[in-house]
Amino acid sequence: MRILKVNSVLLAVLLSFLLPLRAEIRRGLTARDYYNELYTAGELDHVAGTYACFQDDPMVDSFFIFQDSKSLRNSLIATHAFGKLPEVTQELMKKDLLMVRGYAKGIPGKGEEFLEKDEGSWISDQRMFDDNTPIQIRFTINWQTLRYKYAVEVLNMDSTYRSEVASFGHCEQVPAEAQARGEE
């Protein structure tokens, strides 16, 4: 009987340690966790990083950052760096663009996505999802609340709207010191 009591106590102690570990492993990291790691390490892309955006679902492990070309252009002009850029880059920077960089599990996507102003939104160039399906990205933000809608619009072959897959969330300004660290 005494062995049973000791084993029961030992089992209870082991379970009290293992259950929280199992819950932590199952939970995984969120987009916010990955963002915080990159922020602390000074590894956010400073070119695209004035705002960080997170989906409403806290279990999503991806996020994106963006900056408008006007802010970047003004910063480059103020530091006399704009004139040193290649002419092609200068012409691109003169447009009203959003530069967006996505991160999946803390890993940056391949380059920035450039979105051009389209009335109350910004859109990407059209591209082909497959041989018969053109798509484009549309980003809409309410600047007062920083709530956003990020949609992949599925188009017909004549470029008319067919449907979309959208995500919604909230953006926040990346602190200036994080932006400055990335420029060093």
Per-residue pLDDT of the chain (184 residues; tens, 9 = 90+): 444 443 444 344 333 444 343 344 446 899 999 999 999 988 887 665 789 999 999 889 999 999 888 887 888 888 888 888 888 888 877 888 898 999 999 999 988 888 999 989 999 999 999 999 999 999 999 999 999 999 999 999 999 999 999 999 999 999 876 554 444 4
Q: Is residue 171, in this structure, part of any structural domain at all?
A: yes
Q: Is residue 109, in this structure, part of any structural domain at all?
A: yes
Q: Decide if 83 contacts 94 (C-beta within 8 A).
A: no
Q: Is residue 47, in this structure, part of any structural domain at all?
A: yes
Q: Is residue 1, in this structure, part of any structural domain at all?
A: no
> Domain span at residue 57?
29-183
How many separate domains does the chain show? Answer: 1
Q: Is residue 104, in this structure, part of any structural domain at all?
A: yes
DSSP state of 92: H
What are 23's strand-pairing partners? none
Q: Is residue 20, in this structure, part of any structural domain at all?
A: no
Q: Is residue 5, in this structure, part of any structural domain at all?
A: no
Q: Is residue 166, in this structure, part of any structural domain at all?
A: yes
Number of H helices, E strands in the chain: 5, 10
The pTM for the full model equals 0.75
Report how far residue 141's alpha carbon sits from residue 69's, in angstroms, rounded to the nearest whole number.
16
Report how far residue 103's alpha carbon sits from residue 55's, in angstroms, rounded to the nearest whole number.
12
